Structure 1
């Protein structure tokens, strides 16, 4: 029977500079206290972790519980066998943007209790899927960042300090100081346009970068994605736009367009995209929504 199979507790030992491993120990103890069998799944690197998740999923699991942040969620979503299982999340990363969407519990005992309570009625949550020439499909939970927000992500990942979401704030300031325009070509249905701006990002969840509300009205339950575009302007004006964006007051600005889409194609030259905090690569990007693809234990 499925209930007799264990939960797989997936941990990234380097999450938040080791916090993930410490939290995972407490999560496993909470499962034991609840009388539920759980096993730890980890790896020496991303590829090893994915291989171990794949193998354990094939052997039979009741579900997966990820102890980490957006990056670990994005890592596991690339494993087809994992996407077939219900997935819970205990926030222990730097940004935790996807967890914030659901106001998830951080305390291990409370998190495990909530996951177990949700097991027989998991939430149906949308995911995003990216297709690129010559590359495998890439699945994401939060958003596909193209432009300024991707550059911030890249810089934040390079800061190996225990700063939590403040890494993204530091990276934001650094990128603003060298703010540059990018060229985008975007196609939605039969409509295509080109523009110069600072980002063209496809969001599933509301926030990225440790709580920046890029798509304040986005929902992970509506079968749609939010395409957020910010066009060009003077540096002083764009600084004002970014300040309003950080406070979710940007939706009506003339430089900002937010479009609900099921599918979109974005071309951005040699711009490198990120999703869920991790590298995706260069485009062009064909992005679509996968409605209800994730059974989420929340």
Structure 2
């Protein structure tokens, strides 16, 4: 393979940046050519990936879910082989696809050329013209508001910023009115949390849509009724086991296409800001040609 390695040295708080030379060495040990691609901007990284696909190269990402997300924008629907070398904090997409989570073992598996398999992806389009792919989960409720607030904060840096954002959003917690259409079946409801998943988890193991299967051609949707602060926080630990969906105040749905609208809500997918609602999310079977 002629590999374009999209590497993000800041993924996982930079803890694995020093492994980049060894990752390259292990990929090359399989007889492949490897060029490291880095760009100063996210758009630049996507463009580099798209150019690699146009040149007939294999795209491999080294980083976390955000880096994978950028790679998906380049390869989705093209048939180009795509590999993942996890080097982030959560690596939810790689984990749920059953890929090696150790950075160097993942590079070795790609180098071994174990073949490819088709994996579903979700495509989201916004009323503002935004179009993007995602592999894991789209958040359009409480967790999206936490991300939005944390991205606006300049202090503190690191995990503490998100902890403070969670506290602030809990204090501001209120339900919103949503309109949702699942394969044409429309409903309207108040909610504090709505998530649409192609795979089951986000945020480093929160199994928010525990039954999501990236090979079934369907999206899984979880909706939480209006909840108080205390109830919401008591439910959150259950998300690691996926047992929150057993609570009668949480409903689950499944569809090929999800249309979602609400005032003042911005959607996040794979932890990345997408666009304000309304959005249409469609499952595209086999859109990713995954190595391993």
TM-score normalised over the length of structure 1 = 0.88
**How do residues 81-100 of structure 1 correspond to structure 2 at under 5 angstroms?**
83-100=78-95
For residues 271 and 81 of structure 1, what CA distance do their matches in structure 2 show?
A: 26
**How do residues 128-139 of structure 1 correspond to structure 2 at under 5 angstroms?**
128-139=122-133
Q: Provide, for residues 80-100 of structure 1, a one-character-per-residue CA deviation record: whole Å limited to 9, x for no partner.
A: 578431111111123211112
1:12/1:20 contact within 8 Å kept = no
- Provide the secondary structure at the position in 1 that maps to 2:245: coil
Across the aligned residues of Structure 1 and Structure 2, the Cα RMSD in angstroms comes to 2.4
Q: Provide, for residues 51-71 of structure 1, a one-character-per-residue CA deviation record: whole Å limited to 9, x for no partner.
A: 22222222231x111001111
Compute the displacement of 1:143 (Å): 1.4
Given the alignment of the two structures, is residue 261 of structure 1 paired with residue 252 of structure 2, yes or no?
no
Judged with a 3 Å threshold, the aligned counterparts in structure 2 of structure 1 residues 115 and 160 are, in CA distance, closer, same or farther, namely farther
1:113 is aligned, of 95, 108, 114, to 108
Unmatched tracts of structure 1, length 5 or more: none
For residues 229 and 104 of structure 2, what CA distance do their matches in structure 1 show?
A: 47
Judged with a 3 Å threshold, the aligned counterparts in structure 2 of structure 1 residues 189 and 54 are, in CA distance, closer, same or farther, namely closer
Given the alignment of the two structures, is residue 152 of structure 1 paired with residue 146 of structure 2, yes or no?
yes
- Provide the secondary structure at the position in 2 that maps to 1:153: helix
For residues 190 and 82 of structure 1, what CA distance do their matches in structure 2 show?
A: 24
Q: How many aligned residue pairs are there?
A: 290
Given the alignment of the two structures, is residue 56 of structure 1 paired with residue 63 of structure 2, yes or no?
no
For residues 18 and 150 of structure 2, what CA distance do their matches in structure 1 show?
A: 23
**How do residues 172-191 of structure 1 correspond to structure 2 at under 5 angstroms?**
172-191=166-185
Aligned to 2:13: 17
Given the alignment of the two structures, is residue 46 of structure 1 paired with residue 42 of structure 2, yes or no?
yes
Q: Provide, for residues 239-270 of structure 1, a one-character-per-residue CA deviation record: whole Å limited to 9, x for no partner.
A: 33334334321122121111111001100112
1:212/1:246 contact within 8 Å kept = yes
Compute the displacement of 1:141 (Å): 0.4
TM-score normalised over the length of structure 2 = 0.89
- Provide the secondary structure at the position in 2 that maps to 1:207: coil
1:23/1:67 contact within 8 Å kept = no
2:121/2:284 contact within 8 Å kept = yes
Given the alignment of the two structures, is residue 102 of structure 1 paired with residue 97 of structure 2, yes or no?
yes
2:4 is aligned, of 4, 8, 31, to 8
